[in-house]
């Protein structure tokens, strides 16, 4: 049973700012790894290898992978930040609905909770 910090990342795994820096500094995010479980963190990419903003379809696919992982690891608690709503520049109404149907062990930020 673990508390997992879920953050927005880039595919290059440059965890230099925002929630990615928090993940690197305090939750075991691995430099160079931009997707998936890393220590007590989970990276959902919103930017590409060259820090370009990813298409929402691509982000949604990564969110689906995360939700499957959370469901399979039901004893862990996944604390999601408002991914994509900082450095990537998306609005909560664009990203929040991607988390519809999230399992109970996924704690969404206030910006996304109404989309559950």
Residues in a beta bridge with 79: 5, 107
Q: How far is CA 14 from CA 54, 87, 89, 110, in A?
A: 15, 13, 17, 26
Q: What is residue 87's predicted lDDT score, i.e. its pLDDT? A: 86
Distance between CA atoms of residues 30 and 39, nearest Å: 8
Residue ranges making up the domain that contains 93:
3-113
Q: Is 85 helix (H, G, I), strand (E, B) or coil?
A: coil
- The predicted-structure confidence for 90-112, as pLDDT tens digits, reads as follows 999 999 999 999 999 999 999 99
The parts of the chain modelled with pLDDT lower than 70 are none
- Give the predicted TM-score (pTM) of the model: 0.95
Give the total number of structural domains in the chain.
1
The structure tokens listed for 99 are 């988390």
Q: What is the CATH number of the domain that holds 46?
A: 3.40.220.10
């Amino acid at each position: 049973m673990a508390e997992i910090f879920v953050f927005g990342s880039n595919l290059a795994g440059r965890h230099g700012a925002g929630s990615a820096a928090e993940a690197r500094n305090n939750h075991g995010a691995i430099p160079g790894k931009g997707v998936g479980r890393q220590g007590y963190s989970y990276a959902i990419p919103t930017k590409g290898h060259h820090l370009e903003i990813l298409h929402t379809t691509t982000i949604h696919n990564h969110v689906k992978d995360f939700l499957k992982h959370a469901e399979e690891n039901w004893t862990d608690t996944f604390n999601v930040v408002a991914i994509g709503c900082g450095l990537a520049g998306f609005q909560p109404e664009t990203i929040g609905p991607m988390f519809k149907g999230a399992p109970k062990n996924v704690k969404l930020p206030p910006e996304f909770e109404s989309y559950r």
